[in-house]
């Protein structure tokens, strides 16, 4: 192979062009779904050529996987933007719970979950990416915060990670599951706070410090 035939190195993963492609892909995937989306449509939405997309992503599956990773990372960073001045465990849990539920019930997030579930059997790596970057990462981050609270004597934990997953599941109640199946309407801010407040009370009844 001559020097001119050598494929260029893959561009930096965080380049502006790559972000443009992911943003274009997000619009197309959310509008057409995974199976209905084409790389031609993504190229038009991103304002690039299809050849440029393939410089960054080897397939539609790889592009969708990158979109999942990108969106889950952004959501996780927002979820755990916790005010360091909060020294009340109830207020801390409520802040995280409301942020979590507000994100979970967004129409685009519900669409993303549905798409991941739809493609996970055919492309299990996409399902694993979503699970690792979403529920697993969020659970691990919350477990770290809960352990700090336990070290300060505010909680009594036997399993940090199990407690974190328990809290997230209690905050969701049945609201998110209903939206996934097209049942019910997106809850209001007041309804989200009600769900979270019940979750916080139940969590503290189980793990709150007794002394």
In order of their start, the domains of the chain are 7-58 (1.10.10.60), 72-207 (1.10.357.10)
**Whether residue 95 has pLDDT greater than 80:** yes
Q: How far is CA 102 from CA 16, 24, 78, 83, 151, in A?
A: 28, 24, 11, 18, 29
37 close to 60: Cβ distance less than 8 angstroms: yes
CB under 8 A, 24+ apart: contacts of 132-136 = 133/68, 133/69, 133/72, 133/73, 133/76, 134/72, 134/75, 134/76, 135/165, 135/168
Q: So what's the pLDDT on residue 78?
A: 76
Q: So what's the pLDDT on residue 11?
A: 53
| pLDDT band of 211, cuts 50, 70, 90 | low
Q: So what's the pLDDT on residue 1?
A: 36
| pLDDT band of 12, cuts 50, 70, 90 | low
pTM (predicted TM-score): 0.83
| pLDDT band of 133, cuts 50, 70, 90 | confident
| pLDDT band of 204, cuts 50, 70, 90 | very high
d(C-alpha 158, C-alpha 172), whole Å: 22
**Whether residue 6 has pLDDT greater than 60:** no
């Amino acid at each position: 192979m001559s020097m001119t035939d050598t494929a260029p190195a893959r561009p930096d993963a965080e380049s502006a062009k790559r972000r443009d492609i992911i943003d274009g892909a997000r619009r197309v995937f959310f509008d057409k779904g995974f199976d209905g989306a084409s790389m031609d449509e993504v190229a038009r939405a991103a304002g690039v050529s299809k050849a440029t997309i393939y410089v960054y992503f080897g397939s539609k599956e790889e592009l969708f996987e990158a979109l999942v990773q990108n969106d889950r990372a952004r959501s996780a960073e927002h979820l755990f933007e916790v005010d360091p001045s909060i020294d009340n465990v109830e207020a801390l849990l409520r802040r995280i719970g409301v942020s979590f539920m507000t994100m979970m019930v967004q129409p685009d997030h519900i669409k993303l979950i549905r798409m991941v579930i739809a493609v996970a059997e055919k492309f299990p790596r996409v399902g694993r990416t979503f699970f690792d970057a979403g529920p697993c990462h969020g659970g691990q981050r919350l477990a770290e915060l809960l352990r700090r609270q336990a070290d300060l004597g505010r909680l009594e934990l036997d399993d940090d990670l199990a407690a974190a997953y328990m809290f997230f599941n209690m905050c969701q109640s049945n609201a998110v599951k209903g939206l996934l199946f097209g049942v019910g309407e997106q809850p209001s801010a007041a309804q989200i706070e009600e769900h979270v407040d019940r979750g916080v009370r139940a969590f503290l009844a189980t793990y709150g410090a007794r002394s």
